[in-house]
């Protein structure tokens, strides 16, 4: 195989790994039920814990959260659900909330497909690289890709820490273009009560930290492997 072709493969390998890690970590924490339970028991709205603010018990909040998360991974699921909230039986989610969750479900399922595809591309290209003993070329490609990655992460982290609201609004304008169903009311919409702004800040920062750790552990492992092979 020509050198230029192999250089292309090493870059594809590096980029596909980053995409896989990004989406895997996002899915891992976005569907991590213990993470939700922990956040629900420490976050407050109007000086009330979330379950008390909504008007249900912590156990009911856990069940409602798990019900909602299940919907996002099942095309055949529905968000039709009634509960006793603040002493009254009512439909949990409004029509607008359900329509927004249809968009979220599509995004979740499509990103899962991309995650799997990126993993397959990574493993296939890695097999070719190892078979042809091109670890040094892979390390060079990673080194170059990580230069851009560090800049991107620095900008992203700074943005999140300085003005999370604008970051979160930008995210929704990009991925939910064409409607404003994602703009919910904390005084009446149960969906945003389950995952209020502070929850999303904690979720996003946890995801970013995890991504940084995984990517840089991988980078230094590759650095060590390349260094060791160069001495052999």
Question: What does the pLDDT look like over 35-67, one tens digit per residue?
Answer: 999 999 999 999 999 999 999 999 999 999 999
Beta-strand ranges (E) seen in 160-231 are none
Q: How far apart are CA 89 and CA 130, in angstroms?
A: 61
Question: What does the pLDDT look like over 123-172, one tens digit per residue?
Answer: 999 999 988 888 888 999 999 999 999 999 999 999 999 999 999 999 99
Interior CA angle at 121 toward 175 and 130, to 5°? 145
Query: Quick check: 184 and 192 in contact, CB under 8 A?
Result: yes
Q: The tokens 């990004």 sit on which residue?
A: 22
pLDDT at position 2: 55
SS3 133: coil
Question: What does the pLDDT look like over 177-225, one tens digit per residue?
Answer: 888 999 999 999 999 999 999 999 999 999 999 999 999 999 999 988 8
Q: How many residues in the chain?
A: 232
Beta-strand ranges (E) seen in the chain are 44-45, 48-49, 82-85, 88-91
Q: Is the dihedral of CA 132, 137, 142, 148 positive or negative?
A: negative
Question: What does the pLDDT look like over 7-33, one tens digit per residue?
Answer: 899 999 999 999 999 999 999 999 999
Extents of the domains making up the chain: 3-231
Which pTM value belongs to this model? 0.92
Best CA proximity match to 172, nearest among 104, 110, 109: 104
């Amino acid at each position: 195989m020509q050198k230029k072709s192999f250089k292309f493969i090493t870059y594809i390998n590096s980029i596909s790994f980053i995409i896989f890690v990004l989406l895997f970590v996002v899915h891992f924490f976005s569907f991590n039920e213990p993470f939700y339970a922990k956040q629900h028991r420490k976050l407050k709205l109007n000086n009330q814990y979330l379950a008390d603010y909504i008007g249900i018990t912590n156990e009911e909040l856990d069940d409602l959260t798990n019900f909602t998360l299940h919907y996002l991974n099942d095309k055949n699921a529905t968000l039709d659900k009634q509960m006793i909230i603040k002493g009254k039986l009512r439909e949990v989610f409004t029509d607008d909330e359900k329509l927004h969750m249809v968009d979220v479900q599509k995004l979740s399922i499509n990103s899962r497909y991309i995650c799997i595809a990126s993993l397959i591309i990574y493993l296939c290209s890695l097999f070719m690289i190892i078979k042809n003993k091109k670890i040094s070329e892979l390390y060079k490609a990673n080194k170059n890709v990580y230069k851009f990655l560090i800049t991107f992460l620095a900008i992203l982290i700074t943005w999140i820490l300085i003005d999370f609201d604008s970051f979160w609004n930008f995210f929704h304008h990009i991925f939910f273009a064409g409607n404003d169903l994602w703009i919910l009311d904390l005084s009446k919409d149960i969906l945003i009560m389950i995952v209020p702004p502070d929850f999303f800040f904690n979720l996003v920062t946890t995801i970013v930290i995890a991504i940084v750790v995984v990517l840089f552990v991988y980078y230094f492992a590759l650095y060590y492997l390349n260094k060791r092979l160069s001495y052999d």
